[in-house]
């Protein structure tokens, strides 16, 4: 189960650590790998693989599928509004899709805390979304549906190119600050009777702009985009967005996840280069796996980038029970 206590603590901001206990079968594999001598040809091959990944020369099968999913889903809301077919009504944050009410979990919590009332449609929509993303992996929402995620990916690519030329430097923050924002936004909604988060949430802003047309709110999106290009990549998703944290908690018991197999892994760390949340892949580092098979943590967005680049197939999508 990927939703164990350690995985949840890491999602909340704890630094991943080497497991205290390693099962005997995994320990045997670790010892065998330490004893194996790596040839110069194998080292050269690993270096070449790493360089190709850094240069972006690798399969992007799952990325292309994600981008299609994000564009298609958000475009359906736009087309449904302009053509008036009423299939996808509302926006990504709160909608009615094919007659089913849907409401983002954290945004709904903000409304309840601010107005101290629970609307029946809000309850139905929240429960529907909870069940959907419980089944589909929780944070898969971030990489497969969220419109801001696509912008953040583009900003990251620009940032990395500028960083390679030493025009910008990366600035990291403690990941636990996202948990602080989760609490602060909740307290502000309850105390002020107004949802500040829903007013500055770029996910809702972009979704509404695509449907009803852009407005002055796009200035805030531009500020976030430029901040991630020139200062800290994926800053909103990694350090601020409480929606991502909520979906991570939602998917803790999800049957859909990415699993890691220790046996064939060569520990090239190609996956670390492309991972959106690299702290979830600590287990792939040499000597870090506590078991032969490990479920990647709840903070994983199931973007599939690690699956694309893994040369040994040690990282795979899996549906538990099937």
For residues 79 and 100, state if they share a domain: yes
Per-residue pLDDT averaged across 176-188, rounded? 96
Give residues with Cβ within 8 angstroms of 155, minimum separation 6.
225, 228, 229, 233, 234
User: What is the value of pTM for the model shown?
Assistant: 0.91
Looking at 249, 268, 284, which one is the last position of a domain? 249
Distance spanning both ends of the chain, measured CA to CA: 14
pLDDT at 2: 57
Which of the residue ranges 73-87, 127-141, 213-227 would you say has the lowest mean pLDDT?
73-87
Residues 296 and 236 grouped into a single domain = no
Q: How far is CA 170 from CA 66, 268, 300, in A?
A: 26, 23, 22
232-263: pLDDT as tens digits = 999 999 999 999 999 999 998 899 999 999 99
Q: Are residues 135 and 223 in the same domain?
A: yes
Pick from 249, 276, 307: which residue ends a domain?
Answer: 249
Crossing angle of helices 105-115 and 177-192, in 10° steps, is 30
Does residue 236 sit in the same domain as residue 166? yes
Per-residue confidence (pLDDT) for residue 141, from 0 to 100: 96
Q: Is the pLDDT of residue 1 over 70?
A: no
Question: Which residues constitute the domain of residue 127?
Answer: 61-249
* Confidence at 56, pLDDT banded by 50, 70, 90: confident
**Quick one: 185 and 309 in the same domain?**
no
pLDDT digit string (tens) for 166-179?
A: 999 999 999 999 99
* Helix (H), strand (E) at residue 88: strand 88-90
Are residues 26 and 127 both part of a single domain? no
What domain count does the chain have? 2
Question: CB under 8 Å to 163, separation ≥6 — which residues?
Answer: 169, 170
- Tokens at 88, concatenated: 């996808």
Angle at 281 between CA 275 and CA 284, to 5 degrees: 120
Of the pLDDT bands very low, low, confident and very high (cuts 50, 70, 90), residue 264 is confident
pLDDT at 86 over 60: yes
| Count of other CB atoms within 10 angstroms of residue 44 | 10
Do 17 and 97 fall within a single domain? no
Contacts of residue 175, Cβ cutoff 8 Å, sequence gap at least 6:
13, 238, 239, 279
pLDDT at 113: 95
Query: Same domain, yes or no, for 94 and 242?
Result: yes
* Residues 259, 277 within the same domain: yes
Q: Which of 198, 232, 249 is the last residue of a domain?
A: 249
């Amino acid at each position: 189960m990927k939703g164990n206590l350690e995985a949840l603590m890491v999602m909340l901001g704890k630094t991943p650590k080497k497991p205290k206990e390693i099962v005997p079968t995994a320990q045997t594999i670790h010892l065998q790998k330490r004893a194996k001598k790596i040839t110069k040809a194998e080292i050269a091959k690993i270096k070449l693989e790493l360089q190709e990944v850094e240069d972006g020369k690798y399969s992007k099968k799952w990325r292309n599928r994600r981008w299609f999913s994000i564009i298609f889903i958000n475009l359906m809301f736009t087309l449904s509004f302009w053509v008036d077919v009423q299939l996808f009504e509302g926006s990504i944050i709160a909608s009615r899709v094919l007659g089913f009410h849907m409401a983002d979990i954290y945004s709904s919590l903000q409304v309840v805390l601010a107005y101290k009332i629970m609307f029946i449609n809000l309850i139905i929509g929240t429960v529907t979304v909870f069940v959907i993303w419980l089944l589909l992996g929780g944070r898969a929402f971030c990489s497969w549906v969220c419109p801001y995620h696509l912008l953040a990916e583009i900003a990251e690519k620009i940032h990395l190119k500028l960083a390679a030329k030493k025009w910008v430097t990366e600035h990291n923050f403690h990941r636990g600050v996202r948990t602080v924002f989760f609490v602060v936004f909740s307290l502000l909604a309850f105390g002020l009777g107004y949802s500040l988060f829903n007013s500055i949430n770029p996910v809702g802003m972009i979704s509404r702009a695509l449907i009803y047309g852009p407005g002055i709110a796009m200035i805030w999106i531009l500020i976030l985009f430029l901040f991630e290009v020139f200062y800290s990549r994926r800053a909103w998703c990694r350090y601020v967005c409480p929606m991502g944290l909520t979906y991570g908690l939602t998917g803790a018991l999800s049957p859909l996840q990415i699993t890691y197999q220790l046996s064939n892994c060569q520990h090239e760390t190609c996956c670390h280069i492309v991972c959106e949340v690299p702290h979830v892949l600590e287990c792939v580092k040499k000597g870090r796996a506590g078991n032969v098979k490990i479920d990647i943590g709840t903070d994983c967005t199931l973007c599939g980038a690690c699956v694309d680049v893994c040369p040994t197939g040690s990282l795979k999508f899996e549906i538990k029970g099937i």
